[in-house]
Structure 1
Amino acid sequence: MNCGELFYCSYDKAAETLHNRTQLSEIVLSKGISKKDELIDFLREELKHAFECDVRFWLQGSYKSHTLIKPVDKFSSYDIDVGIYLFIDAEEEEVESNDVKETLKEALSSYCNINNEAKLQESKNACEGLKFTTFLTIDTPIYFKTDNNIKLATNEGWVDSDPKSIQEWLTNGYSDNSSRALMKRLVRYFKAWINVKWQGSGHKKIPSLAVNVLVAQYMQKRDREDESFIHTALSICDALESTLIVNNPLNGSNLVAMSQDSATFAHQKFDELKQVCLQCVDSSDFQRAISFSNLFQHYFPQITLNTDEGSTGLPAVVTVPEISICRFDKNGDHVENVTADKLSVTKGDSLTFTICNQNAFHVHASAHWTVRNVGVQANDANDIGHKVTGRLNENHRRETSYTGSHTMECMITYNGVVKGFKAIHVQVKPTRTLKKKRVYKGRRR
Structure 2
Amino acid sequence: MSCAARLFNSKSDQSLYARITPSADQFATQQARWNDLADFLKSRLKDDAGYPMSTWLQGSYKFDTQIRPWKSGAKFDIDLGLYFEWAGDDDEGDYEPAGFKELVQNALLDYAEDAENDATGVEEPKERCCRISFRPDFHIDVPCYHLDRGADRRALATETRGWEASDPKAIYKWFKDLLPDQADRAQLRRLVCYFKMWAALKIKDAAARPSSIMLTVLVAQAFGDLDRSALADDDDLLEKTITVVADTLDGDGAVPNPADPAEDLNRLDADATSAFRARLREFIDTARRANAATSEESAAEIWTEAFEHFFPMPEDLAAESYEGGQASVGKGTALVAYAFDPQIYVRAESKDNASYVREGVNEIGVIVKNCSIHFELMNAAQLPAGASVRWTVRNRGHEAWSKNDIGHFAGAELTADEQSAYNGNHAMDVAVYQWGRIIGRRRVEITVRGGVMPPRHKPNKRIFRRR
Q: Same fold (TM over 0.5)?
A: yes
Corresponding residue of 1:327: 348
8 Å contact from structure 2 (residues 5, 234) kept in 1: yes
Amino acid at match of 1:216: A
Deviations 1:52-76 (A, max 9, x none): 1011000111111111121112211
1:348 Cα deviation (Å)?
3.5
d(CA) in 2 for partners of 1:357, 1:433: 32
Question: Following TM superposition, by how much is the alpha carbon of 1:301 offset from its aligned partner in structure 2, in angstroms?
Answer: 0.8
How many positions carry a matched residue from both structures? Answer: 422
Residue 107 of structure 1 corresponds to 107
Local SS of the residue matching 1:426: strand
Kindly state the Cα deviation for residue 84 of structure 1 after the two structures are TM-superposed.
0.4
Could you tell me which of 443, 447, 451 is aligned with 1:427?
447
Instruction: Say if 1:364 and 1:134 are closer, same or farther in 2 by CA, change over 3 A.
Output: farther
Alpha carbons 2:370, 2:420 under 8 Å: kept: yes
Kindly state the Cα deviation for residue 375 of structure 1 after the two structures are TM-superposed.
Answer: 2.1
Equivalence for 2:311: 300
- In 2, the alpha carbon distance for the partners of 1:349 and 1:416 equals 34
Alignment of 1:243-392 (within 5 A): 243-252=252-261, 253-286=263-296, 287-303=298-314, 309-311=336-338, 318-333=339-354, 334-341=356-363, 343-361=365-383, 367-392=389-414
Is this contact kept in 2: 1:203–1:265, CA < 8 A? Answer: no
Q: 2:64 aligns with which of 60, 66, 86?
A: 66
CA separation of 1:309 and 1:174: change in aligned 2, threshold 3 A? closer
Counterpart mapping for 1:224-239 below 5 A: 224-239=233-248
Deviation by residue 1:273-327 (Cα, 9 ceiling, x = unmatched): 122123334332333222112210111112469997523xxxxxx5333322111
What letter corresponds to residue 398 of structure 1 in structure 2? E
**Is the CA contact (8 Å cut-off) linking 2:366 and 2:447 kept in structure 1?**
yes
Aligned to 2:264, the other structure's residue is in SS state coil
CA-CA distance at 1:51 after TM superposition:
1.6
| Counterpart secondary structure, 2:173 | helix
User: Which position in structure 2 is the counterpart of 1:139?
Assistant: 141
Matched residues in 1 for 2:20 and 2:404: separation? 10
Contact 2:301 2:313 in 1 (8 A): no
Which amino acid in the other structure matches residue 90 of structure 2? A
Correspondence for 2:90: 90
Instruction: Note the C-alpha offset of 1:400.
Output: 1.9
Amino acid at match of 1:96: E
**What is the CA–CA distance in structure 2 between the aligned matches of 1:111 and 1:432, rounded to whole Å?**
38
Amino acid at match of 2:179: Y
CA distance in structure 2 between the aligned counterparts of 1:254 and 1:362, rounded to whole angstroms? 50
Q: Distance in 2 between matches of 1:416 and 1:432?
A: 40
- Greater shift after overlay, 135-144 or 329-338? 329-338
* 2:305 aligned counterpart, secondary structure: helix
Which is further off, 94-103 or 48-57? Answer: 94-103
Q: In structure 1, the residue corresponding to 2:256 is in which secondary structure?
A: coil
With 396-405 and 338-347 compared, the bigger mean Cα shift is at 338-347
CA distance in structure 2 between the partners assigned to 1:43 and 1:390 by the alignment: 50
Q: Confirm or deny: 8 A CA contact 1:192 1:299 kept in the other structure.
A: no
2:431 paired residue among 411, 414, 418? 411
Q: Is the 8 A contact 2:300 2:313 kept in 1?
A: no
**1:15 deviation in Å?**
5.0
- Identity percentage over the alignment? 27
Cα distance in structure 1, aligned partners of 2:76 and 2:312: 21
Question: 1:216: Cα distance to partner?
Answer: 1.5
Shift of the alpha carbon at 1:373? 1.1
Question: CA 1:51–1:363 in 2, change beyond 3 Å: closer, same or farther?
Answer: farther
Structure 1 unaligned spans of 5+: 312-317, 435-445
Looking at structure 1, the residues matched to 335 and 365 of structure 2 have their Cα atoms a distance apart, in angstroms, of 20
